[in-house]
Amino acid sequence: MRALIQRVSEAEVQVDGAAVGSIGPGLLVLVCAMQGDDEARAEALAGRIARLRIFRDAGGKMNLSLRDTGGAALVVSQFTLAADTSRGNRPGFSSAAPPEQGKALYEHFAQSLHALGIEVATGEFAADMKVRLVNDGPVTIWLDQ
């Protein structure tokens, strides 16, 4: 699985003009299931993200995790993270998992984060979403699991 995470002060996702998920301080997690991914990879990625020490401690160092801070995660499915731009000008997405598998792994990933004690809000799989965020730092990190 692949994720792009952004440390945020707040984030919200809208579908058809209505908010479907929002958080205060925490992480916006854009996630993509790739060909060959399974539930074990989704769980491993969730664990990595929950434990990743990218929040400031009292001394201002990035030393605290999402679990340490009690922050939330806004999980948004984004198959375009699978983009292959190695040839031509039009990205290819054949390395993304098929839609049914992608949706199941996206949901399993969000449930796995929740099971780790993280408050989770989500977008809507395969919807045309509008994502608004205030990036804190900015801190943006790419993860492959």
pTM equals 0.96
Q: Give catalytic status of residue 55 as yes or no.
A: no
Predicted pLDDT of residue 46: 98
Query: Of all residues in the chain, what percent carry a pLDDT higher than 70?
Result: 100
Fold annotation for 2-85+92-144: D-tyrosyl-trna(Tyr) Deacylase; Chain: A; (3.50.80)
Q: Where are the domains of the chain?
A: 2-85+92-144
Q: Give catalytic status of residue 69 as yes or no.
A: no
Classify strands 55-56 and 62-64 as parallel, antiparallel or unpaired.
Answer: antiparallel
Q: Could you report the per-residue pLDDT of 47-62, keeping only the tens digit for each?
A: 999 999 999 999 999 9
Contacts of 53 (CB under 8 A, 6+ apart): 62, 63, 64, 65, 68
Catalytic residue among 6, 14, 55, 79: 79
